Structure 1
Amino acid sequence: MEIHIENVGEYLKNSGIKPSYQRIRIFQYLVENRNHPTVDMIYKALCAEIPTLSKTTVYNTLNLFIEKKIVNVIVIEENETRYDSVMDVHGHFKCEKCGKIFDIDIDNEHLKDNRLKEFEIKEQHYYFKGICKDCANK
């Protein structure tokens, strides 16, 4: 589940987004780090490089990315919103000890249900919680 983008500015432009420096760096952060970050995590990672960056700018930029369908929202815990640049259908596993979120491949063919044929599905979410292998081995 990797995303490869040669030119982030062009990618944003093709998605209907004006590619400002802040928008480019926020999207690059999502693609390069794959850590399913919160607004705070993105802000802390980029504020030294971009002194004019605010949490409001990060939040508004992420909402624009969601609106343009280039970023997904992940809400596993009610009080924690995270963001993901992988748009393919996949699941997430959150470790209860270290808090990391891992991507999980999901086989859509096994999830088809005849009872859903008459419904228009707009979102799919698959979440698992437990202890990751690194924490289990400690």
Structure 2
Amino acid sequence: MVCSRNVPLEVKGTLSCYKINGEIKKDSVTATLKTKSSTVITSKSGLCGEPITLEAEVSLTTIRQNGFHVTFTYNTITFSFTKTIRKDCDNPRIDRRGKYFCNFDKSIKSYLRTACKSLIFCFAFNT
């Protein structure tokens, strides 16, 4: 029998706002933490350009097996994409108290820059 311990997970990501005809649009965005089988664990909404943080108690074994993912959705333009926890995290780590951290900011920015090449809109980056 394999014993799997649960750990607190903190996932952060900031979705850039997008431009249409040179005008930056402020859209509401949603981040949804799911299992591989698409069961929703938690979800949170905010505005583009602002960080979104998701927190949940999850299996460390499942994290190590890339068993969780986060779907990021722009609500007005209904554009979404998914990032996998551990594999796509910028610097995944566990602190001394056993909390697992995953930040997607670099991964998101890289994905959105590539997406601009094939979309009718583009994203506005501050840097």
Give the alignment's TM-score, normalised by structure 1.
0.25
Larger RCO of the pair (alpha carbons < 8 Å, separation 6+): 2
- Return the index of the structure with the highest Cα Rg: 1
The structure in which a higher percent of residues are helix is 1
